[in-house]
Chains A and B, each alone.
Chain A
Amino acid sequence: MTIKEKEQEIISEFEMFDDWLDKYNYIIEIGKSVPVIDSQYKQDQYLIKGCQSQVWLHASMEDGRVIFKADSDALITRGIVGLLIRVLSNQPPQDIVDADLAFIDAIGLKEHLSPTRSNGLVNMIKQMKLYALAFKAKQQGT
Chain B
Amino acid sequence: MSFNIEQLRREFPLLSQEVNGKPLVYFDNAATTQKPKAVVERLIEYYYKENSNIHRGAHYLSQQATETYENARETTRLYLNAAFSHEIIFSRGTTEAINLVASSFSKKFVNPGDEILISAMEHHSNIVPWQMACQERGAILKVIPMNEKGELILEEYEKLLSNNTRIVAVTHVSNALGTINPIEEIISLAHQKGIPVLIDGAQAVPHMKVDVQALDCDFYCFSGHKLYGPMGVGVLYGKEEWLQQMPPYQGGGEMIKEVRFTGTTYNELPFKFEAGTPNVGDVLGLEAALRFVSYLRHDEISAYEDQLMQYGMEQLQTLENIRFIGTAEKKTSVISFIFNDIHPYDTGIILDKLGIAVRTGHHCAQPTMDFFEVPGTVRVSFAVYNTRQEIDILVEGLKKVRTLFG
B349 nearest CB across to chain A (Å): 5
Query: Is the CB–CB distance between A24 and B362 below 8 Å?
Result: no
Please list the 5 inter-chain residue pairs (A to B) with the smallest Cβ-Cβ separation, ordered nearest first: A74-B343, A74-B345, A53-B345, A52-B345, A75-B346
Residue among B353, B362, B400, B404 making CB contact with A51, cutoff 8 Å: B362
Bound-state CA distance A20–B21 (Å) is 11
A20 cross-chain contacts in B, Cβ below 8 A: 20, 353
Which residues of A are found within 8 Å of B405, using beta-carbon distances?
A: 28, 75
Asked if B375 CB lies within 8 Å of chain A CBs, one says yes
- Offer 17 A-B interface pairs, CB within 8 angstroms, sorted by A: A21-B353, A25-B404, A28-B346, A51-B361, A52-B361, A52-B376, A53-B343, A53-B345, A73-B343, A74-B343, A74-B345, A74-B346, A75-B342, A75-B343, A76-B345, A77-B345, A118-B361
Task: Give Cα distance in the complex from A53 to B342, angstroms.
Answer: 12
Q: How far is the CA of A73 from the CA of B350 in the complex (A)?
A: 16
14 other A-B residue contacts (CB within 8 Å) besides A73-B375, A75-B343 = A21-B400, A24-B350, A24-B404, A25-B404, A28-B405, A51-B361, A52-B345, A52-B360, A52-B376, A53-B345, A74-B345, A75-B346, A76-B346, A118-B361
A104 to B123, CA, bound (A): 36
Q: Tell me, rounded to whole Å, the shortest Cβ–Cβ distance linking B341 to chain A.
A: 10
The interface on chain B, measured as residues whose beta carbon lies within 8 A of the other chain's beta carbons, has a size of: 18
Judge whether A28 and B345 touch: CB under 8 Å: no
**Which chain A residues border B404 with CB–CB below 8 Å?**
21, 24-25, 28
B residues less than 8 Å from A74 (CB atoms) = 343, 345-346
- A-B CB pair tally, cutoff 8 Å: 40
Within B339-363, the residues touching A (CB, 8 Å) are 342-346, 348-350, 353, 360-362
**Residue positions of B touching A, CB distance < 8 A:** 20, 342-346, 348-350, 353, 360-362, 375-376, 400, 404-405
**What are the residues of chain A within 8 A of B353 when measuring CB–CB?**
20-21, 24
Greatest chain A CB density within 10 A among B344, B346, B348, B400 is at: B346
**Interface residue? A119 (CB, 8 A):** yes
Once the chains bind, are B349 and A76 in contact (CB under 8 Å)? yes
Cα of A54 to Cα of B360 in the assembled complex, Å: 14
What CA separation (Å) do A73 and B360 show in the bound complex?
14
Contacts of B376 in A (CB 8 A): 52
Task: List B contacts of A75 (CB < 8 A).
Answer: 342-343, 346, 405
- In the complex, what's the smallest C-beta–C-beta distance from B399 to chain A, in angstroms? 13
CB-defined contacts of A24 to chain B, threshold 8 Å: 349-350, 353, 404
Within 8 A of B (CB), among A7-55: 20-21, 24-25, 28, 51-54
Nearest B residue to A77 by beta-carbon distance?
B345
C-alpha gap A20/B22 in the complex (Å): 13
Contacting residues, chain A, for B361 (C-beta < 8 A): 51-52, 118
Determine the residue in chain B with the shortest Cβ distance to A28: B404
Report A-chain residues with C-beta under 8 Å of the C-beta of B350.
24
Complex CA distance for A25 and B344, rounded to whole angstroms: 17
Nearest CB of chain A from residue B89's CB, rounded to whole Å:
31
Residue numbers in A under 8 Å from B20 (CB-CB): 20
Note all chain B residues with C-beta closer than 8 A to A54: 375
With a cutoff of 8 Å between Cβ atoms, the chain A residues found around residue B345 in the complex are 52-53, 74, 76-77, 119
B343 contacts across to A, CB distance below 8 A? 53, 73-75
Q: Which residues of A contact B375 (CB under 8 A)?
A: 53-54, 73
- Closest A residue to B348 by beta carbon equals A52
- For window 111-139 of chain A, which residues contact chain B by CB distance below 8 Å? 118-119
Which residues on the A side are within 8 Å of B348 (C-beta)?
52
> In the complex, which residues of chain B have a beta carbon less than 8 angstroms from the beta carbon of A77?
345
